[in-house]
């Protein structure tokens, strides 16, 4: 409680419920009093060093990774323990400041960026960065929300275990952010999304209570699964402060290969063959279109196209073997021989050593960087049933090419999970910014209509944040939206947690459902 002179004093506070009290209390104060008193109370609770208000200090927390969103804040607070997180939530509630949780701020949908009002508080979890426990026999690790993903992987390795979540942002993103976006990454095919890797959570509720659900159990059918509610909620239902995550036996060997194919459909047929040959040993299956690799080798000339002649598609496969490297190599040889005999694979190369394997992965991981170097493009992170990917790409490519002659498609992604990064680059010589200004909305509408027609998802792994709320409301059924809204209202009746993310702010006009796909009418026929 701040010691400000405008405080209504203990009598009022003690005789009314916190919500009524907070409303009355905040009405008695001007906005700047409220903000100042809130900041003072935060400083008293966690120390001045961990309450940032100076524009220079708060700036890195107010812009998202892709620099699409720029917000304002009354303060960025960095609590160091779960109790301190709970205290920050209680204070934010008392002073009526909506909360935006933030981890590594690497998300792709603007979920961790506050709005422009300057009335939202950013709660950064970065200081909750302790590994609380490793239980090798239970194959679990208990970590605080702010632990960097790469640090969990490293600690698992010390115990001869694998922490299977892996993505290109692993040196910066936090496990709390991974859980809140239900991140995917490169090993979903074998180990699942972050949701499948989580056994238990500790959460601070919007009321500032702590729910200790840190159970390392693989079976627990005792009612509604609260854990699964918070995973993928993008900070709209509560703040994850710690988690029990699954570990797996570390593979003895990893062998990587590249295969050249004619089409996405051939890649799908090859996936089915590879799964038949390798079963659970197949841990990665990434598709890269010819143009994606062309961008990489153009903007990063030190990286070489792996084949002597051009092919329509390249697949990066990885086998993780618990027996030996020889075993994995022999398996690869049999698989490639068979796939070439069947005419599925046109050429193939197996990494000879770790550094060659790294070079193969570098090709894949440099696609986003090469796109950025080429200029802005229209990005989509979509999923369709694996069996329909070939048809989706063919049909949607044709529609886009018809509408925008010369357009260049950057199609790549986690084919084994049915997840594509399906990006649309301006025709050669066209200014990317004016291309985006003219075509972003209609191209989005076209792509999402096609995704919907293929019973897919408009956000496979990056969440909705503030980027895709309108589109999600358009494509979800009224029943689904109502159920989501009911959950939000039940858990966060005061709409304090990350408002206007995932679900539209009901106070905004026309927020519940958009009648037409946003931008649908603007695509040239």
Ligand X SMILES: Cc1cc2nc3c(=O)[nH]c(=O)nc-3n(C[C@H](O)[C@H](O)[C@H](O)COP(=O)(O)OP(=O)(O)OC[C@H]3O[C@@H](n4cnc5c(N)ncnc54)[C@H](O)[C@@H]3O)c2cc1C
Residues forming contacts to ligand X in the complex (CB under 6 A) are 65, 100-108, 111-112, 125, 145, 167-169, 173-174, 176-178, 180-181, 183-185, 234-235, 239-240, 461-462, 465, 498, 501
Closest approach, Cβ 396 to ligand X, in A, equals 21
**Beta-sheet strand order (sheet of 381-383):** 347-350, 253-261, 313-321, 282-289, 408-414, 419-425, 381-383
Closest approach, Cβ 309 to ligand X, in A, equals 30
Give 355: exposed, middle or buried? Use CB within 10 Å, 0-12, 13-18, 19+: exposed
**Distance between CA 376 and CA 37 in Å, rounded?**
43
Closest approach, Cβ 234 to ligand X, in A, equals 4
Looking at 385-462, which runs of residues are DSSP E strands?
408-414, 419-425
Q: Which helix (H) or strand (E) segment is 31 a member of?
A: helix 31-46
Would you say 110 and 67 are in contact if contact means Cβ atoms under 8 Å apart? Answer: no
Q: Which is nearer to ligand X, 225 or 323 (CB)?
A: 225
Closest approach, Cβ 175 to ligand X, in A, equals 8
Q: Which helix (H) or strand (E) segment is 490 a member of?
A: helix 478-491
Would you say 286 and 258 are in contact if contact means Cβ atoms under 8 Å apart? Answer: no
Closest approach, Cβ 103 to ligand X, in A, equals 3
> Comparing C-alpha atoms, which of 166, 168, 157 is closest to residue 189?
166
Looking at 322-478, which runs of residues are DSSP E strands?
347-350, 381-383, 408-414, 419-425
Q: Which is nearer to ligand X, 69 or 95 (CB)?
A: 69
Residue nearest to ligand X (CB): 177
Q: Which is nearer to ligand X, 106 or 320 (CB)?
A: 106
> Comparing C-alpha atoms, which of 180, 212, 210 is closest to residue 195?
180
DSSP 493: T
Q: Which is nearer to ligand X, 25 or 69 (CB)?
A: 69
Q: Could you give the dihedral angle defined by the CA atoms of residues 31, 36, 39 and 40, in that order, rounded to the nearest 10 degrees?
A: -140
By three-state DSSP, how is residue 408 classified?
A: strand
Three-state SS letters, 53-64: CCHHHHHHHCEC
Q: Which is nearer to ligand X, 173 or 336 (CB)?
A: 173
Q: Please report where in the chains the tokens 């999600």 appear, as a residue.
A: 472
Closest approach, Cβ 80 to ligand X, in A, equals 14
β-partners of residue 160 are none
Q: Which is nearer to ligand X, 65 or 95 (CB)?
A: 65
Q: Which residues have a Cβ under 8 Å from the Cβ of 81 and sit 6 or more positions away?
A: 128
Other Cβ atoms closer than 10 A to 13: 16
Q: Which is nearer to ligand X, 93 or 329 (CB)?
A: 93
Q: Which is nearer to ligand X, 50 or 329 (CB)?
A: 50
Q: Which is nearer to ligand X, 465 or 519 (CB)?
A: 465
Closest approach, Cβ 203 to ligand X, in A, equals 8
Q: Which is nearer to ligand X, 62 or 112 (CB)?
A: 112
Closest approach, Cβ 34 to ligand X, in A, equals 23
Closest approach, Cβ 264 to ligand X, in A, equals 19
Closest approach, Cβ 223 to ligand X, in A, equals 22
Q: Which residues have a Cβ under 8 Å from the Cβ of 31 and sit 6 or more positions away?
A: 119
């Amino acid at each position: 409680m701040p010691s400000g002179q405008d405080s209504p004093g203990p009598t009022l506070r003690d005789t009314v419920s916190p919500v009524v009290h907070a409303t009355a209390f905040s009405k008695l104060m001007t906005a700047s009093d409220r903000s100042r008193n809130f900041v003072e109370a935060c400083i008293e609770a966690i120390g001045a060093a961990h309450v940032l208000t100076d524009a220079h200090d708060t700036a890195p927390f107010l812009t998202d990774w892709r620099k699409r969103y720029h917000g304002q804040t009354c303060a960025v607070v960095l609590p160091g323990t779960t109790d301190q997180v709970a205290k920050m939530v209680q204070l934010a509630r008392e002073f009526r400041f909506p909360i935006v949780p933030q981890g590594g701020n690497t998300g792709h949908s603007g979920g961790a960026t506050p709005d422009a009002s300057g009335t939202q508080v950013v709660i950064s979890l970065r200081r909750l960065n302790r590994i609380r426990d490793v239980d090798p026999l239970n194959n679990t690790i208990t970590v605080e929300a702010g632990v960097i993903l790469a640090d969990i992987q490293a600690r698992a390795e010390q115990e001869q275990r694998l922490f299977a979540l892996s993505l290109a942002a692993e040196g910066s993103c936090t496990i709390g952010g991974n859980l809140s976006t239900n991140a995917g990454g490169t090993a979903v095919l074998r180990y699942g999304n972050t949701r499948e890797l989580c056994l238990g959570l500790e959460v601070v509720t919007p009321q500032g209570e702590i729910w200790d659900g840190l159970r390392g159990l693989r079976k627990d059918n005792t009612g509604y699964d609260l854990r699964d509610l918070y995973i993928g909620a993008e900070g709209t239902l509560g703040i994850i402060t710690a988690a029990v995550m699954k570990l797996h036996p570390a593979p003895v060997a990893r062998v990587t290969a590249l295969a050249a194919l004619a089409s996405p459909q051939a890649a799908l047929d090859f996936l089915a063959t590879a799964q038949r040959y390798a079963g659970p040993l197949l841990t990665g299956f990434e598709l890269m279109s010819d143009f994606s690799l062309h961008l990489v080798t153009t903007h990063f000339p030190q990286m070489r196209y792996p084949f002597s002649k051009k092919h329509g598609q390249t697949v990066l496969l990885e086998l993780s073997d618990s027996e030996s490297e020889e075993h994995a190599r022999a398996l690869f040889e049999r698989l490639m021989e068979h796939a070439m005999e069947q005419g599925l694979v046109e050429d193939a190369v197996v990494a000879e050593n770790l550094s060659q394997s790294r070079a193969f992965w570098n090709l894949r991981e440099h696609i986003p960087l090469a796109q950025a170097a080429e200029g802005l493009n229209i990005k989509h992170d979509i999923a369709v049933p694996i069996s329909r990917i070939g048809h989706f790409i063919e049909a949607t490519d044709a529609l886009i090419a018809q509408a925008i002659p010369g357009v260049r498609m950057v199609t790549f992604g986690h084919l084994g999970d049915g997840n594509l990064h399906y990006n649309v680059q301006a025709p050669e010589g066209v200014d990317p910014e004016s291309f985006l200004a003219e075509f972003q909305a209609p191209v989005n509408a076209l792509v999402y209509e096609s995704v919907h027609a293929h019973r897919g998802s408009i956000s496979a792994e990056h969440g909705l944040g503030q980027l895709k709320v309108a589109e999600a409301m358009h494509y979800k059924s009224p029943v689904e939206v109502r159920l989501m809204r009911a959950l939000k209202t039940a858990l966060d009746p005061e709409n304090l947690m990350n408002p206007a993310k995932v679900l539209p702010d009901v106070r905004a006009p026309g927020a519940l459902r958009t009648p037409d796909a946003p931008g649908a009418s603007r695509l040239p026929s």
